Amino acid sequence: MSGGISLRDLVAPRTRRRLVTPSRDGVRGLFPSAKAGRMIEYESLGERNAAALLEDLDVVLSYREQPPRETWWDGERDRRYTPDFGVNTALGPVLVEIKTAADARRPKLRRRHARIRASLQARGQAFIVWTERHVSRPRRARAHLLAAASRGARLRATMVGDLA
């Protein structure tokens, strides 16, 4: 259809890349979100479950999948990173990465996430990694999200104080 609006534009007009693609492996699809006001794309069961949890948590004001890319320093050069979710909470924004518990324990990934977290914190941005253990325990996930948002708010306040 030329010149019209595609279904893709109506479903997810602001995503960086197409998430729902044909694949032999994995779970991909669309999740209806009242907080986002549109369908949210997910590319794993963990992301789908996290979207459902974000819908239910009272402290989440809004969220989106694949928010804008962030840069981080790996010790040698700048790298680019796109988190799974950008979440606006009652205490401030948090970037959320979704991983399986097995993946989150891998030393290489732990080092990568630690460097991403440090780089983002230097700019006052909160970052957390959720696994199925967080998503399956809503009270724990809520506390983790609020703690990160609170840390981010304190960092931003300190940065503003340093500028004054």
Over range 119-129, report the average pLDDT.
91
Q: How far apart, in Å, do the first and last CA atoms of the chain sit?
A: 54
Number of structural domains found in the chain = 1
Q: Is residue 17 a part of any domain in this protein? A: no
In a domain, residue 33? The reply is yes
Q: How many CA atoms lie within 13 A of 126 on its CB side?
A: 25
Beta bridge partners, 94, equal 87, 126
Q: Give the side-chain half-sphere CA count within 13 A for 42.
A: 22
pLDDT of 99 higher than 60: yes
Does a structural domain hold residue 125? yes
Asked, for residue 3, whether it belongs to a domain, the answer is no
The pLDDT value given to residue 92 = 93
Give the separation between CA 50 and CA 135, rounded to whole angstroms.
6
Give the model's confidence band at 1: pLDDT under 50 very low, under 70 low, under 90 confident, else very high. Answer: very low
pLDDT tens track for 133-145:
999 999 999 999 9
Beta bridge partners of 111: none
The model's pLDDT over 26-64, given as tens digits with 9 standing for 90+, comes to 789 999 999 999 999 999 999 999 999 999 999 999 999
> Domain with 103 in it: what CATH number?
3.40.1350.10
**Encoding tokens for residue 12?**
């997810």
